[in-house]
């Protein structure tokens, strides 16, 4: 189940860390003290460049720094996986794109996530609009494919413990974060994907995220050409050490990494 037309995608890992990022404030562990830039992880987010347009999946507290780092001077839309702070708290910083592009930013999210946005960013939707506030155009998504400028996006319903969240498939790339359960019928949507990006919090089991072993089981079932791990915690270890333990087609994601579906 995927888009028939071949889509060229360049994906940029804006962030590959957990809700606290890496290094963690006040932590003195080896990973947090690492001098390897690949061990510096902002909150998880992905940017997809398709047909010259930038689509971002999740906009956490590091959104501003991430977009500045990538010199992303335009933004077509933001897709949200769920409403947790590390995935939506950067939305206020779309103001610059509003100003440059002269229109509200299109944001795609399910109804529950939209309600959270309206509560947290209440000033955006208030009757009195304070000058300079961000401008958002909310689009409701459900568990069925939708299009933006002719590009098909396929939501993948997953579960973050008991919280329903979405992953997304676009062409030959699938991005799944913050989950520890993908139902069988949803897994069928992912099959055939060439690039799979999936969360793997740490080696030990976790209540709401795949650990390494569980992520590798999913990768084995999907059998993509390449898989990348994201949403990594400081408890997992250093980038270079993790990579040594992985199968030949599985890679540790890191901030700033760019990959292509070519």
Chain segment 219-249, per-residue pLDDT in tens: 999 999 999 999 999 999 999 999 999 999 9
The length of the chain, given as a count of residues? 262
Sheet holding 195-199, edge to edge: 146-148, 151-160, 163-170, 173-176, 195-199, 226-230, 250-252
Confidence grade of residue 262 (pLDDT, cut at 50, 70, 90): confident
Q: What is the pLDDT of residue 131?
A: 87
Chain segment 122-181, per-residue pLDDT in tens: 999 999 888 899 999 999 999 999 999 999 999 999 999 999 999 999 999 999 999 999
Closest CA to 261 of 6, 1, 8: 8
Task: State the residue for tokens 């976790």.
Answer: 206
Residues 25-38, mean pLDDT to the nearest whole number: 98
* Cβ–Cβ < 8 Å for 230, 201: no
Report the C-alpha gap between 252 and 201 in whole angstroms.
12
Residues 76-92, mean pLDDT to the nearest whole number: 98
CATH number of 9-260: 3.60.15.10
Helix (H) or strand (E) run with residue 110 in it: none
Q: What is the pLDDT of residue 15?
A: 98
Chain segment 7-24, per-residue pLDDT in tens: 999 999 999 999 999 999
Chain segment 179-214, per-residue pLDDT in tens: 999 999 999 999 999 999 999 999 999 999 999 999
Q: What is the pLDDT of residue 5?
A: 61
Backbone dihedral region for residue 248 (phi beyond 0: left; psi -120 to 50: alpha; all else: beta): alpha
Residues 110-128, mean pLDDT to the nearest whole number: 96
Report the C-alpha gap between 141 and 252 in whole angstroms.
30
Q: Please state the domain extents for the chain.
A: 9-260
Q: What is the pLDDT of residue 113?
A: 98
Residues 243-256, mean pLDDT to the nearest whole number: 97
Query: Is the model's pLDDT at 2 over the cut of 90?
Result: no
Backbone dihedral region for residue 24 (phi beyond 0: left; psi -120 to 50: alpha; all else: beta): beta
Strand 173-176, strand 163-170: pairing: antiparallel
Who contacts 50 (Cβ-Cβ below 8 Å, separation ≥6)? Answer: 7, 8, 9, 151, 170
Question: Average pLDDT of the chain?
Answer: 96
């Amino acid at each position: 189940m995927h888009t028939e037309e071949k889509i060229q995608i360049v994906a940029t890992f804006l962030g590959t860390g957990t809700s606290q990022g890496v290094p963690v404030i006040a932590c003195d562990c080896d990973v947090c003290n690492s001098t390897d830039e690949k061990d510096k992880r902002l909150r998880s987010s992905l940017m997809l460049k398709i047909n010259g347009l930038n689509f971002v999946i999740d906009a956490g507290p590091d959104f501003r720094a991430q977009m500045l780092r990538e010199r992303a001077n335009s933004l077509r839309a933001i897709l949200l996986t769920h409403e947790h702070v590390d995935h939506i708290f950067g939305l206020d910083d779309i103001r610059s794109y509003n100003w440059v592009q002269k229109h509200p930013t299109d944001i795609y999210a399910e109804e529950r996530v939209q309600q959270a946005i309206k509560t947290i960013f209440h000033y955006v939707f208030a009757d009195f609009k304070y000058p300079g506030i961000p401008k958002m155009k909310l689009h409701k998504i459900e568990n069925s494919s939708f299009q933006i400028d002719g590009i098909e996006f396929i939501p993948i319903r997953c579960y973050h413990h008991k919280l329903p969240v979405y992953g997304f498939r676009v062409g030959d790339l699938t991005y799944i974060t913050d989950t520890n359960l993908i139902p069988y019928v949803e897994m069928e949507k992912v099959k055939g994907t060439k690039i799979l990006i999936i969360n793997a919090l740490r080696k030990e089991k976790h209540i709401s995220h795949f650990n390494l072993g569980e992520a590798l089981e999913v990768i084995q079932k999907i059998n993509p050409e390449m898989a990348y791990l994201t949403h990594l915690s400081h408890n997992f270890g250093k980038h270079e050490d993790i990579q040594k333990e992985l199968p030949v087609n599985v890679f540790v994601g890191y901030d700033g990494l760019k990959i292509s579906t070519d």
